[in-house]
């Protein structure tokens, strides 16, 4: 079915609405909220929101009541808007789903009905019940799937936002910030606003980012792996202690470390087969930017394949131990880093 992505939906909002039923899905909750608000603003005058806008959370209201509200006429306006957030449509029986479809087909043109699902509610993979719901809504309206923006697109946004904040950031430094804090746009903008304030109008540098930005777990753990590869075990333990202070679970740290070492192992195999780093990135659809990738590539070239294989065995054993023993996280992870450092050559 033809989902609308961010760009196509943004263009759609510039024109008169041709449909009055919308479903918002995707993994970027910040952007979904943004475009949902834009659609609401386009539909309902702010001064008349009290009369013409109704919001429903989860399953606090029966669907019949929601559709009943949809039959009301707008007050001094062309439309009313109903926003239904995270309603468990996948729990509808076959008969209820049939009634749901009938109600959508009978919805007055003066009513705009919006279904909004957070990424935690709407599954990202195949799900028969959700597929049925989506197909029905797509039949009568528009399904909008908004996922995280590409790093390049987000970097351009930061360059533009910096000018609005009276400072500047170049494209490469913006990519570095994204690398550090992850691809969630809300987190990126929160950290970016903090760095803009810290910069006091000076151009934003990587040093400023390192000083002020809260790194994602993945970025922090990646730094642990590069510290181990470079022989800087003290820095690896410093980062680990900070993660433990933040109460990051051992499973998250072990998982992220395993991901870094799996990629290192894959890269080494590629190099041994006379393939270059770019071949590796393309083959495995490696999503991190060249700034993160460049940190690990020189060390992998110097590492032995057998050493990386031993590291993966150590990570596997530690993962099993974390799930089957009562060893405290700090001891378990300290032992892990010590063992990984011992086999780094």
Alpha-carbon distances, residue 306 vs 121, 232, 313 (angstroms): 42, 21, 11
Nearest in space to 219 (alpha carbons), one of 232, 210, 208: 210
Q: Please state the rounded mean pLDDT for residues 157-185.
A: 91
Q: What is the CA radius of gyration of the chain?
A: 25
- In whole angstroms, what separates CA 336 from the centre of its chain? 29
Q: Please state the rounded mean pLDDT for residues 329-336.
A: 93
* Residue 14 φ then ψ, to 5°: -75, -10
Q: Please state the rounded mean pLDDT for residues 167-184.
A: 90
pLDDT for residue 272: 83
Q: Please state the rounded mean pLDDT for residues 133-149.
A: 92
Task: Say if CB 4 and CB 145 are below 8 A apart.
Answer: yes
Instruction: Express each pLDDT in 254-284 by its tens digit.
Output: 998 998 888 888 888 888 887 766 666 666 6
Please, which pLDDT band fits residue 4 given cuts at 50, 70 and 90?
A: confident
* Residue 142 φ then ψ, to 5°: -130, 130
pLDDT for residue 286: 56
Instruction: Express each pLDDT in 204-241 by its tens digit.
Output: 999 999 899 888 888 888 889 889 988 899 999 999 99
Return the percentage of the chain with pLDDT > 90, whole number. 57
Dist. CA 28–CA 299, nearest whole Å: 34
Task: Say if CB 98 and CB 136 are below 8 A apart.
Answer: no
Tally Cβ neighbours within 10 Å of residue 170: 15
Nearest in space to 152 (alpha carbons), one of 184, 175, 121, 134: 175
Q: Where are the alpha helices (DSSP H) in 213-249?
A: 217-230, 233-245
> Does position 287 have pLDDT exceeding 70, yes or no?
no
Instruction: Express each pLDDT in 85-137 by its tens digit.
Output: 999 998 999 999 999 999 999 999 999 999 999 887 888 777 888 999 999 99
* DSSP 8-class letter at 125: S
What rounded mean pLDDT belongs to the chain?
88
pLDDT for residue 2: 60
Dist. CA 290–CA 20, nearest whole Å: 43
């Amino acid at each position: 079915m033809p989902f609308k992505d961010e760009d196509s939906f943004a263009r759609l909002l510039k024109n008169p609405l041709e449909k009055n039923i919308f479903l918002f899905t995707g993994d970027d909750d910040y952007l979904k909220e943004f475009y949902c608000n834009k659609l609401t603003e386009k539909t309902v005058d702010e001064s008349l929101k009290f009369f013409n806008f109704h919001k429903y959370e989860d399953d606090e209201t029966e669907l019949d009541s929601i559709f009943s509200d949809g039959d009301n006429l707008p007050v001094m306006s062309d439309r009313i808007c109903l926003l239904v957030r995270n309603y468990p449509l996948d729990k509808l029986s076959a008969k209820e789903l049939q009634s749901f479809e009938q109600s959508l087909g009978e919805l007055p043109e003066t009513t705009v009905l919006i279904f909004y699902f957070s990424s935690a509610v709407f599954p990202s993979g195949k799900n028969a019940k959700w597929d049925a719901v989506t197909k029905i809504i797509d039949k009568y309206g528009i399904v909008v799937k908004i996922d995280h923006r590409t790093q390049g697109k987000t970097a351009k946004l930061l360059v533009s936002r910096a000018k609005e904040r009276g400072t500047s950031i170049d494209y490469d430094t913006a990519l570095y910030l994204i690398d550090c804090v992850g691809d969630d746009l809300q987190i990126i903008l929160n950290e970016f606003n903090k760095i803009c304030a810290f910069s006091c109008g000076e151009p934003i540098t990587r040093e400023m980012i390192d000083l002020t930005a809260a790194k994602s777990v993945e970025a922090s753990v990646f730094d642990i792996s590069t510290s181990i590869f470079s022989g800087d075990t003290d820095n690896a333990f410093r980062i680990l202690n900070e993660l433990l202070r933040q109460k990051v679970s051992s499973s998250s740290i072990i998982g992220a470390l395993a991901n870094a070492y799996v990629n290192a192992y894959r890269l080494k195999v590629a190099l041994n087969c006379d393939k270059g780093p770019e071949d590796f990135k393309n083959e495995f659809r490696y999503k991190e930017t060249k700034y993160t990738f460049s940190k690990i590539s020189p060390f992998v070239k110097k590492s032995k394949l057998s050493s990386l294989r031993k590291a993966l065995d150590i990570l596997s054993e530690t993962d099993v131990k974390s799930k089957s023993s009562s060893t405290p996280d700090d001891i378990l992870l300290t032992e892990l880093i010590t063992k990984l450092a011992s086999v780094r050559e």
